[in-house]
């Protein structure tokens, strides 16, 4: 009896740790309507009805993160009751990244992002060590969990083929020691429960912690780095442009 109790005491912390390392997290969008200059206000006033409907449809989008101690996969929840032929739904999917897929290999510490280009899919690979998160001494509660702030960058390419960056803020929970989260918010010392992007936040709506899930890479295509992808992007898009 004593041996049984001792074994239980030894393995109980491991069971708690194992349960915190697997599960399903669901996220919703919170869209901020904020116009910082007159040009933005003018655009909104001109296309108010269309923009408002796109935002309304965006707030119906629900994203899902499957994770275990080895890997995670993030994408839009399948079979949402959306009219995907409607122009506002299509616009919401484009503007708010509803068509993107992400896969994270937690053992080898890298992220794969699906990036299609002119009919061909690519797996763009980024290692955690290259993400340069800045951990900040600031915390808040999200869904009852203590979360800490981290500041990072999201990289994109302008119409003139110049790289630019915008600031992102991730709120991660060390209590759930899985280095993953929504979109590219991975590599932090805890599950990311909220990601603040320009004009919107991706916020935890439901968490089924301890649920066993199998995670496989859902993304197809050649595996390349971000710099290589940017180079291909420039060449292919320029080749399509009229001379």
Residue 1 inside a domain? The answer is no
Residue 12 inside a domain? The answer is no
User: Pick the residue with more confidence: 62 or 242?
Assistant: 62
Q: Please count the structural domains in the chain.
A: 1
What is the Cα–Cα distance from 164 to 157, expressed in whole angstroms?
6
pLDDT confidence of residue 203: 97
Q: For the residues 55-67, what does the mean pLDDT come to?
A: 92
Residue 16 inside a domain? The answer is no
Residue 14 inside a domain? The answer is no
What pLDDT digit, counting tens, does each position of 100-148 carry? 999 999 999 999 999 988 788 899 999 999 999 999 999 999 999 999 9
Inform me whether the pLDDT recorded for 29 exceeds 80: yes
pLDDT confidence of residue 89: 87
Inform me whether the pLDDT recorded for 205 exceeds 60: yes
Looking at mean pLDDT, say which of 77-81, 89-93, 104-108 comes out highest.
Answer: 104-108
> Which two three-digit tokens encode residue 225?
């780095």
Residue 11 inside a domain? The answer is no
Residue 7 confidence class, pLDDT cut points 50, 70, 90:
very low
pLDDT confidence of residue 11: 41
Residue 219 inside a domain? The answer is yes
Given a contact cutoff of 8 angstroms between Cβ atoms, the answer to whether 54 and 239 are in contact is no
What is the Cα–Cα distance from 101 to 75, expressed in whole angstroms?
5
> In the beta sheet, which residues pair with residue 146?
141
Q: What angle do CA 222, 224, 228 make, to 5 degrees?
A: 125
Given a contact cutoff of 8 angstroms between Cβ atoms, the answer to whether 112 and 118 are in contact is no
pLDDT confidence of residue 152: 95
Q: Which domain holds residue 205?
A: 23-240
The model's pTM is: 0.84
**Lowest-confidence segment of 5-9, 153-157, 185-189 by average pLDDT:** 5-9
The three-state (H, E, C) secondary structure of the chain, written as one string: CHHHHHHHHHHHHHHHHHHHCCEEEEEEEEECCCCCCHHHHHHHHHCHHHHHHHHHHHCCCEEEEEECCCEEEEEECCCCCCCCCCHHHHHHHHHCCCCCCEEEECCCCEEEEEEEECCEEEEEEEEHHHCCCEEEEEEEEECCEEEEEEEEEEEEECCCCCEEEEEEEEEEECCCCCCCCCCCCCCCCCEEEEEEECCEEEEEEEEEECCCCCCCCCCCCEEEEHHHHHHHHHHHHHHHCCC
Inform me whether the pLDDT recorded for 42 exceeds 80: no
User: Pick the residue with more confidence: 133 or 15?
Assistant: 133
């Amino acid at each position: 009896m004593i041996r049984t109790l001792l074994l239980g005491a030894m393995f109980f912390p491991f069971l708690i740790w194992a349960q915190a390392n697997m599960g399903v997290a669901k996220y919703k969008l919170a869209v901020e309507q904020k116009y910082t200059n007159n040009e933005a206000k003018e655009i909104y006033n001109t296309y108010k009805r269309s923009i408002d409907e796109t935002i309304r449809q965006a707030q119906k989008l629900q994203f899902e993160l499957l994770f275990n101690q080895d890997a995670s996969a993030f994408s839009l929840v399948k079979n949402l009751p959306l009219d995907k032929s409607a122009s506002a739904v299509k616009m919401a999917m484009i503007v708010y990244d509803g068509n993107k897929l992400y896969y994270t290999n937690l053992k080898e510490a890298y992220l794969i992002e699906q990036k299609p280009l002119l009919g061909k899919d690519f797996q763009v690979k980024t290692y955690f060590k290259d993400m340069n998160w800045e951990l900040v001494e600031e915390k808040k509660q999200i869904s009852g969990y203590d979360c800490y702030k981290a500041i990072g960058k999201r990289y994109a390419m302008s119409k003139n083929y110049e790289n630019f960056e915008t600031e992102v803020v991730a709120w991660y929970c060390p209590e759930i020691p899985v280095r993953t989260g929504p979109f590219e918010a991975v590599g932090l010392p805890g599950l990311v429960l909220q990601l603040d992007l320009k004009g919107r936040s991706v916020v935890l709506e439901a968490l089924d912690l301890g649920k066993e899930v199998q995670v496989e890479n859902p993304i197809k295509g050649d595996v390349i780095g971000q710099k290589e992808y940017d180079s291909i992007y420039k060449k292919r898009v320029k080749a399509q442009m009229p001379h």
